[in-house]
Structure 1
Amino acid sequence: MTQTHASTDNPAATLVIGGNGKTGRRVAQKLRGQGRPVRIGSRTGAPAFDWNVPGTWGPALEGIDRVYVTYHPDLGFPGAAEQVGAFSEAAVAAGAGRLVLLSGRGEEAARRAEERLKASGADWTVVRASWFNQNFDEDFFLEPVRAGEIALPTADAVEAFVDTDDIADVVVAALTDDRHIGRTYELSGPRLISFADVAAELSKATGREIAYVPVSDAEYRAVLRENGLPQEFADLFRQILDGRNAHLVHGVEEVLGRQPKDFADYAREAAASGVWEV
């Protein structure tokens, strides 16, 4: 492996792909807080980075020796493994010897991308996470929460929602500490909760009623079509329904030596920001 050793005198330059996203933004902030130079990898970045335009990869990698790799819209989508593999090889060739990949917990399709990244010869770390707390205030559940109704095809299945600040702390540790090279960490929150539990916590935090409404897979797919969203999003809910992630894992404790944030604490903090005010 290509060992990389950062120092406070000459900190490593890090490319954060998706650096304006939920985890990437936090990773970039935390790295900068440590005095480490960061380049944001996005289509609006300078230089621009676009997964679908390999010609942008080289300029984005110039002067970089480690990368936080996130893939949009999802690592399990068709073609993701091939793009991640090709990028990882390009990164190593350009001198970026440390790669930390955000993967999906319980996503078998994402494993191909993990293996392609590992095969690049990089010093790798894989961080597997499932559903983010911040999906409810920064992403596709924001408007349903504001409207007071979360309609999803999840029945009474449970999930161990994880906070993006916890993910970012684990990623920063993996980018900056050689002890995490060659490790795969699975992250979850501290308890299993259903979407009905989520609605109850959000209702408590906001002081108004937010209902969870179970819908069928067909009904949810129709909503996706009406809104021009990929049908693959519906497939992600199968991972909740089949129970593959219905158990706690302890990557946060293992890497950071502390408990992960509970959904109730997240909900209180988000509500206090005013994001769900109608």
Structure 2
Amino acid sequence: MRNETTLVTGATGKTGRRVLRQLREKGVRARAASRSSHTRFDWSDRTTWEQALHGVSGMYVVAPDLGGAQASEDIAALARLAAGAGVRRAVLLSFPHTDTPGLDLGHVRAAERALGEAGLDATIIRPRWFFQNFSEDFLRDAVLSGDVRLPAGDGQEAFVDAEDIAAVVVTALTQNGHGDGHAGQEYEVSGPRPMSFADAVADIARATGRDLRYTPLTADAYAAEQRAHGVPEAWIQLTIGLYAEIRAGAPSSVTEDVEKVLGRPPRDFADHARTAAARGAWTS
């Protein structure tokens, strides 16, 4: 595998850039592919796909709008093209079962099946919410405000480190061939413990020394506040659905898949909070 090339789509994203770095740290030749990278890859422009796949033996697939019909069709088309180009391994970033409005699990599962149906040795990764949502993404501003206000109640989620997700992806990509235990597998990737948003905020408060709090809101109150900040309605409704699942406790179970693949337990959120704080993640 060291003399072959692995394609990383979504190479500027939270998992993609970590997969790219970890592959290179292992001495694996990795090709970054995104709309802005040297090797251009655009899901909406299929003319960019063939060149990105040239000389590739494995690929990490991250598709926008997974759960829609277009994403399912695009992944199936990419899988067929990849198989024809000699790609053998593929890892798809998917997501667990959800009843969130706007996310069609039928399309998601069709996208997952498409990789194997094209003849690729495929592995499916279904992660829980990322630790990095608090330090790099849409919850960071709420943390900086000092009051994380969400309609999640006291519900819990087994938040997971994007570094652990990337490590599982890299392991699946670099142990190639039939019978390695990863081809055909579906990994539900979680952190080591179920946590409420209050728990996460408390860990960040301890790590930063700041006075932070979590305030549970009703869905209507949350929507009103988001609209007042100019947040698009589609995002508001999507996140309300996601928070409702957490409030109901749907994604709180912990899995052993990180340890099964990596031979070590997943990283704890408190460790991430300390590291992220030391790197200035919550310095405004």
TM-score, normalization: structure 1?
0.90
Q: Is the Cα contact below 8 Å between 1:106 and 1:239 reproduced in 2?
A: no
Deviation at 1:116, TM superposition (A): 2.4
Paired with 2:222 and 2:113, the residues of 1 have a C-alpha distance of 32
- 2:279 aligns with 273
Q: Which amino acid aligns with 1:272?
A: A
Moved more, 111-120 or 135-144: 111-120
SS at match of 1:145: helix
- 1:243 aligns with 249
- 1:205 aligns with 207
Paired with 1:33 and 1:118, the residues of 2 have a C-alpha distance of 28
Identity fraction in percent: 44
Q: Which amino acid aligns with 2:57?
A: D
Deviation at 1:78, TM superposition (A): 4.9
SS at match of 1:65: strand
Q: Does 1:146 align with 2:144?
A: yes
SS at match of 2:119: coil
CA RMSD of aligned residues (A): 1.8
Q: 1:227 aligns with which of 231, 250, 253?
A: 231
Q: Does 1:76 align with 2:74?
A: no
1:1-278 to 2 correspondences below 5 Å = 6=1, 8=2, 11-72=3-64, 74-107=65-98, 109=105, 110-178=108-176, 179=180, 180-222=182-224, 223=226, 226-228=230-232, 230=235, 231-278=237-284
Deviation at 1:106, TM superposition (A): 2.5
SS at match of 1:22: coil
SS at match of 1:226: coil
Q: Which amino acid aligns with 1:146?
A: L
Number of aligned residues: 269
Give structure 2 stretches of 5+ with no counterpart.
99-103
TM-score, normalization: structure 2?
0.89
Deviation at 1:65, TM superposition (A): 1.4
Q: Is the Cα contact below 8 Å between 2:195 and 2:252 reproduced in 1?
A: no
Deviation at 1:218, TM superposition (A): 3.3
Deviation at 1:54, TM superposition (A): 1.5
SS at match of 1:166: helix
